[in-house]
Amino acid sequence: MSVQYDVDAVVLDIEGTTSATGFVVDVLYPYSRKRFGALLTERADEPEVARAIGQVRDLIGEPDADAARIEQVLNGWLDEDRKATPLKTLQGIVWAEGFARGDLVSHFYDDVLPVLRTWHTAGIGLSVYSSGSVAAQRAWFASSPEGDLLPLVDGLYDTENAGPKQEAESYRRITAALGVPAGRTLFLSDRPGELDAARAAGWRAVGVRRPGEPYYEQGVGDHPAVATFDEITLSTRSTQ
């Protein structure tokens, strides 16, 4: 289906939308799983690591959980692809180092980058809102197969700085940060619950349904749906 909007900002989900869930689960998850043990034992005093460990303990209700127990919980969340904030924080630390070292290069579907460049050139602001941490998002866009894409991106939002992706309030926070009216902001995601929350906050919302992605069969509810970014035509009044 083709859709057309007049908007000033586009906010992008990553997994299932710009990029393959299979890549995240098959490449990034094992990379973090192998490194959690050392992170939790050798770097537990680093503020970000300590904060995430505290959040895991709170979430599981075990204030004395040791490194081995925390690692077990993180690996269980990985198996479920659970988007728990401390898991994402710890993954973000490990992945950012992996991208910087050249061990990892991110993945984007073929249709995505040409369209993002077109929108950016047209003056449409591009931001990211993903369960992946801001550190992970920054590394993901900086280390793409086509090099550093961060110049295309205005803002990075995650479950820490914006809140849960299925709550309208999170989208209202992003609206305040972007300074773009809700009705002139378009959200692209594969998950119907996220699209519902964005729409409840007054945003335009389009579902991205890519064959083979986990949410393909379920669909995107009553939201307009596209299979690729080529099916989205945008105009803008923005002069940025």
Ligand X SMILES: CSCCC(=O)C(=O)COP(=O)(O)O
Residues that bind ligand X (CB under 6 A): 13-16, 24, 83, 88, 130-132, 136-137, 140, 165
The residue (of 8 and 213) whose beta carbon lies closer to Mg ion is 213
**3 within 8 A of 224, measured Cβ to Cβ:** yes
**103 within 8 A of 15, measured Cβ to Cβ:** no
Within 10 Å of residue 68's Cβ, how many Cβ atoms?
11
Closest CA to 5 of 173, 172, 176, 183: 183
Distance CA 208, CA 206 (A): 7
Tell me the closest approach of the beta carbon of residue 13 to Mg ion, in angstroms.
Answer: 4
Tell me the closest approach of the beta carbon of residue 82 to ligand X, in angstroms.
Answer: 9
Tell me the closest approach of the beta carbon of residue 116 to ligand X, in angstroms.
Answer: 15
The residue (of 14 and 74) whose beta carbon lies closer to Mg ion is 14
Maximum C-alpha span of the chain: 55
The residue (of 131 and 236) whose beta carbon lies closer to ligand X is 131
- Tell me the residue ranges of DSSP E strands in the chain: 3-6, 9-12, 125-129, 155-157, 185-189, 204-208, 225-226, 232-235
The residue (of 165 and 172) whose beta carbon lies closer to ligand X is 165
Residue 132 binds which one of Mg ion, ligand X, none, with CB within 5 to 8 A depending on kind? Answer: ligand X
- Tell me the residue ranges of DSSP E strands in 190-230: 204-208, 225-226
The residue (of 170 and 236) whose beta carbon lies closer to ligand X is 170
Within 10 Å of residue 64's Cβ, how many Cβ atoms?
6
**73 within 8 A of 60, measured Cβ to Cβ:** yes
The residue (of 71 and 190) whose beta carbon lies closer to Mg ion is 190
Tell me the closest approach of the beta carbon of residue 213 to Mg ion, in angstroms.
Answer: 8
Residue 85 binds which one of ligand X, Mg ion, none, with CB within 5 to 8 A depending on kind? Answer: none
Within 10 Å of residue 26's Cβ, how many Cβ atoms?
11
| Residues in contact with Mg ion by the rule CB under 5 A | 13, 15-16, 190
Minimal CB distance residue for ligand X: 132
